Amino acid sequence: MEIVIASKKHIKYAGIICETISKSAEERGTGIAKRTPEYITTKIENGNAVIALDGEIFAGFCYIEIFSNKNYVAHSGLIVHPNYRKLGLAKKIKTKVFQYSKQKYPKAKIFGITTGLAVMKINYELGYKPVTFSELTDDPEFWKGCQTCKNYDVLQRTEQKMCLCTGMLHDPNKKEEVKNHNYDSKTWKRLKNIKQSLFLKNKSKK
């Protein structure tokens, strides 16, 4: 398996990347920001994406987004093709994109929002901390990405203070603390269930 910074020769994978992202979102029934092949192509052209290939076969992808004058960087569009899941590939892709971002944008805070337990686990192990949305970028360009998510009304209702996603942030200015506890998947699952029942119950009552 090859995990590399995507370059022009990988533009041909933009279609399958978008298709895999949207199919997976449909299957999970969760909200997701929509991506077009043109958008993915721009990310690849600008050297802001990581791709995993098994020979010539597409296996996984993730890209970098830059906000607030390069003060914030987000990793988006993480996808592992169903044939390559549960093999530790997402962890390898995220680690690569994380190290590359730190090198390319050393002063930027690195963040993400997600409902995915796998991503929360990986982020936590990379040193991200869960934060409120107020600690993330206030760049409207980032929040615009949520408009195509099916839970966007929740974000609007809470005036962008919270949603089903959890915000996670790595701040390069903060000294890494010694972790005295491991990632606790039960706690995260509980938090996710609480949010879902809270926000989605209100939604169905409307």
192 is a site residue for ligand COA (CB under 6 A)? no
Enter the tokens of residue 201. 């119950």
User: Of the candidates 4, 87, 194, 200, which one interacts with ligand COA according to CB under 6 A?
Assistant: 87
Distances (CA, A) of 172 to 11, 107, 109, 111, 129: 31, 7, 6, 11, 12
CA atoms within 13 A on the CB side of 185: 6
User: Of the candidates 2, 55, 56, 86, which one interacts with ligand COA according to CB under 6 A?
Assistant: 86
Question: What is the pattern of x (binds ligand COA, CB under 6 A) and - over residues 107-146?
Answer: -------x-xxxx-xx------------------------
Phi, psi (deg, nearest 5) at residue 78:
-65, 125
In angstroms, the CA 126 to CA 124 distance is 5
CA atoms within 13 A on the CB side of 129: 14
Helices 14-28 + 37-45 axis angle, to 10? 130
User: Of the candidates 36, 88, 138, 194, which one interacts with ligand COA according to CB under 6 A?
Assistant: 88
24 is a site residue for ligand COA (CB under 6 A)? yes
79 is a site residue for ligand COA (CB under 6 A)? yes
User: Of the candidates 78, 149, 163, 169, which one interacts with ligand COA according to CB under 6 A?
Assistant: 78
Using the minimum distance from each CB to ligand COA, give the nearer residue, 8 or 190: 190
Chain residues that interact with ligand COA, rule: CB under 6 A: 24, 78-80, 85-91, 114, 116-119, 121-122
